[in-house]
Copies of this chain bind each other. A is one copy, B any other.
Amino acid sequence: MTRLIESAGGDEARILEEGQKRLSALVCHDDWLPEEFARPHPDHYQQYLLYCDPLERFSVVSFVWGPGQTTPVHDHTVWGMVGVMRGAELCTEYAWQGQGRPLMAGRQHVLKPGEVDLVSPRIGDVHQVSNAVPHLPSVSIHVYGANIGAVARHVYSPETGEVKPFVSGYANAALPNIWDRSAEVRASLAA
């Protein structure tokens, strides 16, 4: 992903086209996410940072919805890719029509494991995501064009069109150490 971002520069369409293939390949396999980054919270959905680019050009986050849980209607202000890995998620798209006017609801679709949805201010940025399975958590892996937990963005009241500032943060103080390749290097030396 680092190499893609560096070679694509700011070409969002190319990032999304290429990135979608890579994210789909990643979430087709549900055998790599440590359990502590797939843990639902009893009261609300969780977002766990897995990786952030050192220049904050992108971030990778696992989202976990318990049964019945949903996000507020929100935007991102940057490109984003939502890849479902476990369970299923209901995405509802909205269009903002101005302060004081209700949001217009758009396409609704259910994402299954391996499927990827795209958002951005260019292609449609306001949506709501809910767990679409009744009794189990759903887990998806998201990639965004910024350090998404630190982005000043917005939540919307669908009935009134009211817009409020939103900075999501992250639920986790510790990231997975994906860099300890020592066992593999030792094995290759012994071979």
Contacts and interface: CB of A to CB of B under 8 A. Distances in A.
Interface string A45-88: 00001011111100100000000000000000000000000000
B180 A49 contact: yes
A180 B170 CA distance: 6
Interface string A178-191: 01111111100100
Interface of A: 2-3, 34, 49, 51-56, 59, 147, 149-152, 165, 167-170, 172-177, 179-186, 189
The 5 closest A-B pairs by CB, nearest first: A169-B182, A174-B174, A150-B181, A52-B179, A2-B54
Contacts of A184: 150
Number of copies: 2
A53 B3 CA distance: 12
A177 B173 contact: yes
A13 to B, nearest CB: 23
Contacts of A179: 49, 52, 56, 59, 147, 149-150, 170
Given A165-B189, A167-B189, A150 B54 contact: no
Contacts of A173: 34, 176-177, 180
